Structure 1
Amino acid sequence: MKKSNLNILTFLFIVGLLTVKSYGQLARKIEMTDDNRLLGLGTQHIIKSDILNEERPIVISLPHGYEETQFNYPVLYLLDGLQNIKHTVGTVEHLTESGLIPSIIVVGIESLDRNRDLTPSQAGQGIHGGVGNKGISQSGGAPVFLEFLKEELIPFVDDNYRTHPYRIIEGHSLGGLFSVYAFMESPDLFDAFIIEAPALWWNGEEMTEQAKTFFQSDGSLNKTVYFGIGGGDGWGMREELIRYVEVVKQKTPKNFRWLHEEVGDEGHMASRMLLNYNGLKFLFSDLKISDDLVNNFSEESFQNSEQQLLNKYGETARRPAEDYFTLVSALVDNENDKGAITVLKRATEAYPVYVGLLTYLAQLYEKINQKNKAIDTYLLGVEVSKRYKLGQEDDFQIEIERLRKNQN
């Protein structure tokens, strides 16, 4: 179907706004120390753990806007937190700005003894990479560490921050091994798992053997799991993950969303940032607008689907701006201007900085002869442009004066 001139012109206008740096990447103030060092990664807390019998440092990174809202936020619990907090916070901010994930709290858990905390059993003499004598004496502490997460750390975070019930755990290598263990040992503790290059060789691939029993149930498992590994990781690591995944394939539970992929040619350590990025995108891939919603659109189904996402992920959940526009474009092509307005109203709430969306909404109001609403929308555009120094106030004012003149 041929697009209307309004649709084509507005599409070019919107795309221009979404790709211009001043619109898509508004600078946000980051706190500085007295000696001008940038902060922004988070705040360190010391958890006095009776379960671990030690003081455990954690770093909590709050999303932009946390202090200005009363929203509740999903939480990502990040293993090897100090090692991974820098790239994870940057990735989270990028994906949040793009609308690919909702705003989340990141809790980085500092590792004090990885071989103790992240291993599910005592290592035998043939431990991978060892000399084959005594193994690792302190290994096998994962059950205690999992209890620490369940009974001390998660309650601390929930008590002190506005958290949404949706929880994620992410781990790499031994952290990936622990994430697999936590998934099968206490599946109700987390809703989603990012498992990166897991050390599934541990003790003769015991996690894979346990999976053969875990996945025997015919019931439902409403969880989302990303299994990722670098394409340049050792073939043994990749093969061990494949063997675990084969168990999942043979008996996939109902409602279980999962993905296994080998990414690029990155080696074991270099893959972490890319796997974090891909993993987060997959966990929240249901934020993308489905073909069914486009092809079988109704205002009720759209509003219900939006509410379902807000219920699942919290008040900051939104779809990518480009997805809203794709749906609006299809509706305008089908001469469903009222439906397009419903979608655009939601899009302007989700992306209050994108004045191009307000422009399109005002044009559609004018098209259906609701000029007062068009004027109100342009007035909102003036406020947004002033607040974020976008330089569009005069253009909006011209449209306001034109509409008011035509009303007289």
Structure 2
Amino acid sequence: MKTKTFKQLMLIIIMALCYHQSNAQVANKIELTEDNQLLGLGTQHIIKSNILNKERPIIISLPIGYKDSNTNYPVLYVLDGLQNIKHTVGTVELLTESGLIPPLIVVGLESLDRTKDLTPSNAGQNVHGSAGNVGIPQSGGAPKFLEFLSEELIPFVDANYRTHPYRILEGHSLGGLFSVYTLMERKDLFDAFIVEAPALWWNKEEMTEKAKSFFKSNESLNKTVYFGIGGGDGWGMRQELLRYVDTIKENPPKNFRWLHEEVGDEGHMVSRLILNYNGLKFLFSDLKISDGLVNNFSDGTFLKEEQRLKNKYGDNARRSAEDYFSLVSVLVENENDSGAITVLKRASEAYPMYVGLLTYLAKLYEKNSQKAKAIDTYLLGVEVSRKYKLGQEDDLLQEVGRLRKTN
């Protein structure tokens, strides 16, 4: 087969792959209740907390395919969970489907008294937003709330679900304040944080004062943190966040991966959706194939990197289909068909419903005189097409017939 003809064929397969990626979305069903209410956001649980001396409602959303696997999943803990569960679950499912993040268990913590639970200290007079006469009597409950997370909630989730050790805490506004507090107070508890428009004005920016000594005393800090805020956010937020991240710049710990960004002209509340999206993408940006892996490719290095990501984020961690395909294209261009086959085998394992990947793999097998493997791959594509109703069975069977007729 001439190289030019093969590359033209691969261009057609790229287009087919994109088509089948869109078709693949219809395979994920959302359950209905008996009265036709659509489920999908999660299940509410009531935890009796001895630490807080009250019952605490939480919402747990499991990733698609959880019931049909034995895999362990990283957990995303979302503060103000009832307020944020809808857009968070939708974003997580979209990014998971696209291979930009691994599947996650999402735990939403419903707020009962957020001014109490999410504030690290008691607020006195002249607190932001008040008339200035008195403080907020119930504020300063974050230490107990953090104890509830570490001693009761996380053990409950770990005991009842298949959790991977990788944990994320996400919070907005006072939730962002609590997230920053948790990072510095219990740095062992979470691996990553999404800090959205944090209320760092609290008690004269006491968290920023604490940060000065925290980052100076932690020479190494193996954490990933996203600090995001809308460009239209007002007093008490943007400049205060800038002053906090300045303390990181002054004493940046080793192994500390972080990003601060201002997004568009979004205001305080509406920014949550895009900050959640950007934050998740940043936390898992190491899923993207690096230039070093492309430029110094070997089968062993590639497979070792794939396993490293699985160890870090769970066995269902994968790169985007586009990333795998881009790497394959480079390898084919460099006449490294063996490497391209290795990548395509991994990609078709990661995206079992994408017939385009199997078609590409079969063509590469045929190009490299591995007819039996090409036939087996086409037949696997027939099974996938039939299972997901993709309508490609006849086309693939024609390829099988053609190969069987050749010597």
TM-score with structure 1 length normalisation?
A: 0.97
Whole-Å separation in 2 of the counterparts to 1:160 and 1:105? 12
Q: State the shift of 1:22 in Å.
A: 4.7
Q: Which residue of 2 aligns with 1:260?
A: 260
Equivalent positions of 1:140-289 (< 5 A) are 140-217=140-217, 219-289=219-289
Letter of the aligned partner of 1:185 in structure 2?
A: E
Unpaired segments ≥5 residues, structure 1:
none
| Aligned residue in 2 for 1:81 | 81
Q: 1:19: Cα distance to partner? A: 4.2
The match for 2:312 is 312
Give per-residue Cα distances to partners, 1:360-385, cap 9 Å, x unaligned: 00011111111100000000000000
Residue in 2 that maps onto 1:65: 65
Q: Is the 8 A contact 1:72 1:162 kept in 2?
A: yes
Partner of 1:138: 138
Match of 2:107 in 1: 107
8 Å CA contact retained: 1:23, 1:353: no
Matched, 1:303 2:277: no
Deviations 1:79-132 (A, max 9, x none): 000000000000000000000000000000000000000000000112111111
The amino acid that maps onto 2:50 is: D
Give the drift of 1:21: 6.5
On the 8 A contact 1:43/1:59 being kept in 2, the answer is: yes
- The Cα shift of 1:29 comes to 1.6
Cα-to-partner distance string for 1:200-219 (whole Å, 9 max, x where unaligned): 00000000000000001362
21-30 or 387-396: which moved more?
21-30
One-letter amino acid of the structure 2 residue matched with residue 6 of structure 1: F
Contact 1:122–1:138 (8 Å) recurs in 2: yes
CA distance in 2, matches of 1:183, 1:19: 43
- Code of the aligned partner of 1:154: I
Residue 97 of structure 2 is matched in structure 1 by 97
**1:7, 1:329 within 8 Å by CA — same for their partners in 2?**
no
Residue of structure 1 equivalent to 2:359: 359
Counting aligned pairs with the same residue, the percent is: 75
TM-score after normalising by structure 2: 0.98
Alpha-carbon distance in 2 for matches of 1:4, 1:144: 67
Taking the aligned partners of 2:238 and 2:16, their CA distance within structure 1 comes to: 42
Relative distance call for 1:209 and 1:22 in structure 2 (3 A) is: closer
Query: 2-side partners of 1:24 and 1:282: how far apart?
Result: 25
Aligned-partner Cα distance in 2 for 1:287–1:115: 37
RMSD of aligned residue pairs (Cα, Å): 1.3
Could you say what secondary structure the match of 1:25 adopts?
helix
Shift of residue 16 of structure 1? 3.6
2:195 partner SS? strand
| Mapped contact 2:17–2:357 kept (Cα < 8 A) | no
Which shows bigger deviation, 193-202 or 133-142? 133-142
Q: Deviations over 1:129-161 (max 9, x none)?
A: 111122100000000000000000000000000
SS of 2:369 mapped into structure 1: coil
Cα offset for 1:237?
A: 1.1
In the alignment, the residues of structure 2 paired with residue 98 and residue 265 of structure 1 have an alpha-carbon distance, to the nearest angstrom, of 27
Alignment of 1:331-370 (within 5 A): 331-370=331-370
2:310 maps to amino acid:
L
Contact 1:17 1:23 in 2 (8 A): no
Name whichever of 127-136 and 205-214 sits farther off: 127-136
Equivalent residues of 1:230, 1:266 under 8 A apart = yes
Query: Residue 18 of structure 1: CA displacement?
Result: 1.8
Determine the C-alpha separation between the residues in 2 that align with 1:127 and 1:199.
Answer: 12
